[in-house]
Structure 1
C-alpha cells in the first residue's frame, strides 16, 4: 500500500447492492498508517475493505479526492498532523474537507495519544465520529459496511464456558450479564491463582486484576488458568502501543479499551452483530 503522494486503490469485491447502497465504495484513509498506533487499524482496513485509497494529509486529499466514497478516516497522531504544510489552521482544513465530501460517506477521526487535550479540539472541527486509536477494533469492524467490511470480520470463536478475572465482582458483573445472555457458562475469579476451574473456552482479563505486563508475565497468568486452548481478551483503560504489543506477545488474542462497546463483546462471543447499528457502551456497576 502506497503512502505519501502515491495513491493505491485496491478492489477485491464485485459491486453489489443492499438497500440501495453500494457495499464496495472506497475507504479514503488520510494520514499515517505505519506507526505503532495506527498500523493495526490500517491492516484491518486493507484486508477487509473492498477499496482503500491513501492520502498523506488533508491537503493531499483535498487536491486528489477519489470518487464513489463510502467512508473517510483521518488518522491524526498529534496536533500538527491535522495542520497543512502551509500552516493553514487545522480546523479550516477539516471544514473545507467536510464541504467537499458528499453527504453519504461516513466520517471518522482516529486520534493518537498526543491529541489528548488539544485546543481547539480536532473533534470539534470535524463533523464525524471521533475515537482514540486503541478503540479502532470496537468501531471500524461495525461501521464500515459501505466499504465492504462485515461485522463478522471481528467475530471470535463461540465459547461455551468463560472465566472473567477482575479485582471485584462489581467490575465483572456487567461483563457476566453480556456473557450470560449468550447462553455460555461464566464464572468470576478475583485473580488467576484462585482459579478452581479447568479448560475454559475463553478468559477475559480486566485490568483491575491484570495490569499491563511483559509477555512473560502474561504467559504466567495464562498458565495459572489451566485452560491451554482458551482465547484470551484483555479489557483495559487507555492501553499504550507497547502494552498491547506485550499482551499479544504473551498470548492475548484481543485487547479492548474501556469503555467497551457491547457489539464488540458480542463479536467476541461469536454472536451476530448488525453492521452500522448504533454503538452502545457497557457501563460497569460501581464497586
Structure 2
C-alpha cells in the first residue's frame, strides 16, 4: 500500500516519502505548511490513491477531544424518560459516535483526517494521545472498550497557529510542505488547466512569484489563491500582455484573488521605488 502522485494532485518526492513512512510506521502523519498549500487535499488524495474511505474531522476553537470519541446526550434521555419513551432503557440510544469511533468500527481500513488541530485549545492534542497510540478508548456509560478493527491512516494538519505538545509530536511522523518551486507550480497548474497556453502560464507564474517576493507582505498568496486567480484570468479572456508589470499600476490585474488585506494592497500599490528600504 503505497502513495504516489495522482492525476489531480502533484506531490513532491519528499511528501510521497513522508506519507509512505507514516503508513509503514502506523503513526499519525503531522503535516504543516502555509495555508493553501494542499494539506487538507493531501488526505483526500491519499484516500483516493490507496482506495480507502475518508473520514474528516474538522477542528474548531470550541472542539473538544471527547467529541472525536463520542458524546452522551443526557438531556435527550431525560426528556424521553419524562415522556415515557422506551428507548431510555438502553443508554446506547443516546451516544453520538465521533469520527474516531467511526474510523475504529469501519469494516475496512480508512484515512482519518484531523484537520487544523492547532485551532483547538492546548489540551486537545494531549487528550488524544492514548486513543491515537493504542487505537482504543473506553465508553464509561456502557463499560465497553472500543478497539480499532483496522488501524486507520491518520493525517493531522496544522497551520502552526499554536505550538503542539512534545508528547504529541513524539508520536507523529512530521512533514512540512514547502511552498512549491516554479517547476512544481507549473505542473500543478497543468493539472487544473491542461489547455492553458504556455505564454499566459509563464506570464502568470512570473507575476505571481514576483508578488510573493514583495518584502513586508502580511499574507503571501498561496497555491490555491493562484489557481483561483488563473481561473479568473481564463474566464476574463485575458492575454499574457495584460499581466505585464506596469510601474504606473503596480497591482496585478484581478489582484483581489491574491491580496487579502488592505495593508498588502497598499504595500504593493506603492511600488518598489517608494517602499522603505528601497
So what's the TM-score if we normalise by structure 2? 0.33
Q: Which has the higher helix share?
A: 2
**Higher RCO by CA contacts (8 Å cutoff, separation 6 or greater):** 2
Name which one, 1 or 2, has greater alpha-carbon Rg.
Answer: 2
Higher strand share: 1
The two structures have a TM-score, normalised by structure 1, of 0.32
